[in-house]
């Protein structure tokens, strides 16, 4: 540090905003020179005799053929061992890192997940100025196209990491939760702006409000094409869609600003069985991510149903306060705590849950109910406190135990039934909840901000939304354009909402009415007819070559016998003429294969589409009779880079592309 300051003549705080620590990749680290003494001081007994039974090789789980008292004791000692490792690590590294940043006037940005150990995933996020998660673009990691509805690799767990980071930020009052965004190892050149937006929306829904892109592929000219590469999306001026990048970055900036400067809300706190796993399998990652199967997913149906939740850990419970029927955890207050197959609680956490239930707060045990404490020392006394507290909860009117959902169940319907059982009203009531419609609520002063996302690439969604907003007046803000509109309504607190494919919207309620142009959701079906015509097609390749073709019908480039078309990457201009009898209102590009498109009619711009349905309104631009239309389409680099057999870099990053990806414009219809 002193060398940097001496060399530059500036203090560190004048040079950088934040210092960053990437994911905690500690392998099998499990000991320090003074671990024996630290363990004794923190737990009151000697760990040495137990070490052969509790120390596990990196990435493995010890399995002993034991039962009864010995098995129970091993479980408790193993919990104490890993709990001690985490506490020592957080004190000696994470807290010191934050302290160093503060002393030098910079922010601390920190990722508390890792592999194979979770070194304090939830506790670690409570410490830094900016807790940071990581999202992966392609959940499947395969060559096949992703499903149209958003999915994620739950065994990997990155959306749970989002919730861990954002929940910690909510509780500690941090305004920024960041993400190492758009991480990607299997689809670098196939990544589209549409895919980036879909992932971005789900980051926002899970509480992320600052994207740190992974990453910009800077390359010197001598590196050629594609240049220097790293994991992530191919953010580069050599990418086909680079000139449209700002469409997404402006979208992201608008929403980031809103969410960083408003206050989050959550009615529900979710507690998992993380500490059970410390005693059973150690700091294993996959167990937390996917066992029980519904734990890391529970935020999804809660959001689908119009509410929000945070994911908490037991020390948060221990330090919480009960005020009325609310559990106050730092800056957040919760009406309900849901435990997912949790068997073990600290006596302090169990007692706090009992006090919360006795005050009228709702406590729900899904599947198993807690019946034991965690630590080896004073185990019997701890067990008795936990059992008495849990029984007290279940004896109250606010305690519930329900069977765990089957994995084949409709998770949205199951969660809806649970919320009805415990009489928990959603923040906004959705008339027809769907697994691809998500909601989130925040406050900015007196303003109530509701964020709605349709995560499906193909399907529109239509529903009534009922709000508890009193006399406040709604307006809608479209983050893709930055434009605001007044909303028509019969009842201020009940709105009809339609979201097109992959569309999002902010609905804001505030006390004063704002004079804005009226917004109209298009709810009438469009009458369509197919367009049968020939096309003049100009291909402008990313490599600088240009060629033309005549097409009697539109095709998927990847199925073409023409190698130049089959491996094309760049901008394609389709030109033709259409006849208008006076009824033409829309030109709809029904399959563009994740491309960016622009439409011009009679040399007048009709707009740009970079995600979802590419439906253009042309009623005011079309004239009676013959109209000239021009469609510019920009595809991805995937098929071209795969074809570069003499380019080692391109081949290395397309090695898992087994078949060509669909590409180009396949069909156009006209709408009335």
Q: What is the pLDDT of residues 284-333, one digit of tens each?
A: 888 888 899 999 999 999 999 999 999 999 999 999 999 999 999 999 99
Nearest to 590 by CA among 609, 565, 569: 609
Pairwise CA distance, residues 119 & 428, whole Å: 36
Q: Is residue 201 over pLDDT 80? A: yes
CA distances from 321 to 158, 242, 328 (A): 30, 50, 5
Q: Is residue 144 over pLDDT 60? A: no
Decide if 339 contacts 370 (C-beta within 8 A). Answer: yes
Decide if 236 contacts 242 (C-beta within 8 A). Answer: yes
Mean pLDDT, residues 587-613: 97
Q: Is residue 141 over pLDDT 70? A: no
Decide if 616 contacts 588 (C-beta within 8 A). Answer: yes
Q: Is residue 628 over pLDDT 70? A: yes
**Mean pLDDT of the chain, nearest integer:** 94
Look up residue 463 and give its DSSP letter.
E
Higher-pLDDT residue of 65 and 381 is 381
pLDDT at site 139: 62
pLDDT at site 153: 86
CA distances from 561 to 72, 414, 567, 633 (A): 67, 50, 10, 20
Q: Is residue 62 over pLDDT 80? A: no
Q: Is residue 142 over pLDDT 50? A: no
Beta-carbon count within 10 A of 447 CB: 13
In this predicted model, what pLDDT tens digit does every residue of 437-469 receive, in sequence order?
999 999 999 999 999 999 999 999 999 999 999
Decide if 21 contacts 119 (C-beta within 8 A). Answer: no
Cis peptide before 226 (omega within 30 of 0): yes
Pairwise CA distance, residues 73 & 65, whole Å: 14
Q: Is residue 361 over pLDDT 90? A: yes
Mean pLDDT, residues 622-649: 97
Beta strand pairing call for 546-551 and 570-580: unpaired
| pTM of the predicted protein model | 0.96
């Amino acid at each position: 540090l002193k060398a940097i300051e001496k060399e530059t003549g500036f203090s560190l705080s004048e040079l950088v905003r934040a210092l960053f620590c990437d994911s905690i990749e500690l392998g099998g680290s499990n000991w320090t020179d003074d671990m024996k003494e630290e363990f004794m001081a923190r737990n009151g007994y000697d760990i040495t005799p137990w070490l052969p039974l509790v120390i596990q090789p990196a990435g493995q789980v010890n399995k002993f053929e034991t039962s009864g008292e010995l098995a129970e004791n091993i479980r408790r000692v193993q919990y104490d061992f890993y709990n001690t490792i985490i506490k020592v690590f957080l004190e000696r590294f994470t807290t010191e890192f934050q302290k160093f940043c503060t002393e030098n006037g910079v922010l601390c940005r920190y990722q508390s997940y890792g592999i194979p150990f979770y070194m304090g995933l939830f506790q670690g996020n409570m410490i830094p100025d900016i807790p940071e998660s990581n999202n992966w673009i392609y959940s499947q990691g395969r060559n096949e196209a992703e499903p149209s509805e958003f999915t994620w690799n739950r065994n990997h767990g990155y959306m749970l990491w989002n919730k861990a980071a954002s929940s910690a930020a909510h509780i500690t009052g941090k305004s920024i939760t960041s993400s190492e965004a758009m991480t990607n190892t299997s689809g670098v050149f196939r990544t589209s702006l549409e895919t980036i937006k879909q992932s971005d929306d789900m980051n926002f829904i899970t509480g992320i409000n600052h994207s740190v892109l992974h990453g910009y592929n800077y390359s010197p000219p001598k590196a050629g094409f594609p240049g220097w590469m790293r994991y992530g999306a191919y953010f580069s001026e050599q990418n086909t869609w680079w000139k449209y990048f700002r469409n997404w970055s402006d979208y992201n900036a608008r929403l980031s600003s809103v969410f960083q400067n408003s206050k989050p809300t959550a009615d529900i706190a979710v507690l998992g069985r993380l500490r059970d796993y410390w005693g059973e399998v150690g700091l294993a990652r996959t167990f937390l991510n996917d066992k029980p199967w519904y734990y890391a997913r529970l935020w999804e149906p809660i959001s689908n149903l119009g509410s929000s939740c945070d994911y908490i850990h037991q020390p948060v419970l221990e330090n919480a306060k009960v005020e009325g029927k609310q559990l106050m955890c730092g800056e957040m207050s919760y009406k309900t705590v849901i435990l997912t197959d949790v068997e073990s609680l600290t006596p302090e956490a169990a007692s706090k849950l009992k006090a919360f239930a006795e005050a009228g707060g709702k406590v729900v045990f899904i599947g198993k109910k807690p019946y034991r404490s965690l630590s080896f020392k004073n185990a019997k006394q701890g067990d008795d406190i936990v059992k008495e507290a849990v029984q007290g909860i279940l004896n109250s009117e606010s305690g519930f135990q329900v069977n765990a959902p089957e994995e084949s169940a409709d998770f949205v319907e199951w969660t809806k039934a649970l919320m009805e059982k415990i009489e928990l009203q959603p923040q906004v009531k959705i008339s027809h909840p769907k697994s691809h419609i998500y909601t989130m609520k925040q406050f900015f002063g007196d303003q109530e901000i509701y964020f709605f996302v349709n995560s499906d690439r193909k399907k529109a969604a239509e529903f009534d939304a009922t709000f508890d907003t009193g006399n406040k007046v709604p307006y809608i803000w479209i983050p893709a354009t930055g434009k605001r509109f007044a909303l028509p309504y019969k009842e201020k607190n009940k709105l009809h909402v339609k979201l097109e494919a992959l569309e999002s919207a902010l609905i804001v309620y505030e006390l004063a009415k704002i004079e804005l142009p009226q917004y109209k959701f298009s709810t009438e079906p469009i009458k369509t007819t197919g367009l049968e015509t020939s096309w003049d097609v100009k291909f402008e390749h990313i490599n600088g070559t240009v060629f033309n073709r005549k097409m009697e019908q539109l095709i998927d480039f990847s199925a073409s016998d023409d190698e130049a078309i089959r491996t094309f990457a760049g901008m394609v201009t389709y030109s033709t003429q259409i006849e208008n009898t006076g009824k033409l209102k829309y030109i709809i590009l029904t399959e563009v294969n994740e491309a960016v498109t622009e439409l011009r009619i009679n040399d007048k711009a009709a707009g740009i589409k970079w995600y979802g349905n590419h439906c253009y309104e042309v009623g005011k631009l079309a004239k009676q009779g013959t109209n000239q239309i021009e469609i510019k389409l920009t595809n991805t680099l995937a098929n071209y880079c795969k074809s570069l057999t003499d380019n080692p870099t391109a081949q290395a990053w397309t090695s898992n592309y087994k078949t060509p990806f669909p590409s180009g414009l396949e069909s156009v219809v006209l709408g009335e």
